[in-house]
Structure 1
Amino acid sequence: MSTTAEATAQLIYPPNVIANSSLMNVKFISACFAGAAAGILGLENWSGFVLFLLSTLLTSACIYFINCRGKPSKYIHGGLPELINPGQDNAFTFVLVWTLFYGL
């Protein structure tokens, strides 16, 4: 009999972990480009965050249809909510790049 820790460890498949980390990198780069676009366009206040929201949704839609083939729960632990979630790191990255490009 295996313990629950061993059973959980068996569910982790290294190629899937690598693929999921590359998907998070795509979302990170999308946040960087959205921040740069918001800064270059001179967006302020809510309009910049709307751009971030739209870029997050567009990136999630591309991942949903291209990589996950319409079944995110099969590829991403947490399914669709985890796919759409921008993540705290990406939001901070967006704000950092936004203020950088806005200041330039």
Structure 2
Amino acid sequence: MSAAPTPDQAAQLLFPPNVQYNNARIYTVKFLSSCLSGAVAGVLGLENALGFALFALSTLLTFACLYVKCRGRPAKYAAGGWWELLNPGQENIFSFILVWTLFYGIVHVYD
């Protein structure tokens, strides 16, 4: 009977080109999700904490969708496991703020 592999041994079983491909797709989905939520926050005219609450909700919804897509085993598809799916990333936060302010300015310019 063999013991369960340690996390280091499990990471060695991942095929690097597949992990690189999966990470690129995860990054793209999270980027598009943050831009879409920024556009929604801007059009709705959300300000301050409400806008960031929408970003947090969007991040959690994206995590849930990716988790289901990974069939509940994210460590099989991404080296970081569930944390790789949940982490919004600094660049996605900045993208959210950029799109949020852009759409807020376009829609609510004369309010």
TM-score, structure 1 as length reference: 0.85
Query: Given the alignment, which residue of 29, 46, 51 partners 2:32?
Result: 29
Partner of 1:60: 63
1:70 match: secondary structure:
coil
Aligned residues: CA RMSD: 1.9
Please say which structure displays the higher CA radius of gyration: 2
Deviation digits for residues 53-95 of structure 1 (CA, Å, limit 9, x no counterpart): 00011011000012x1001111111211221010000000000
Q: Percent same amino acid at aligned positions?
A: 57
Q: Is 1:18 matched with 2:14?
A: no
1:32-51 aligned at under 5 Å gives the runs 32-51=35-54
Alpha-carbon shift at residue 9 of structure 1 (Å): 9.4
Partner of 1:80: 82
Give ranges in structure 1 of 5+ residues lacking alignment: 1-7
Q: State the aligned residue count.
A: 96
Q: C-alpha distance in 1, partners of 2:80/2:66?
A: 14
Amino acid at match of 2:105: G
Query: Runs of 4+ in structure 1 displaced over 2 angstroms?
Result: 8-13
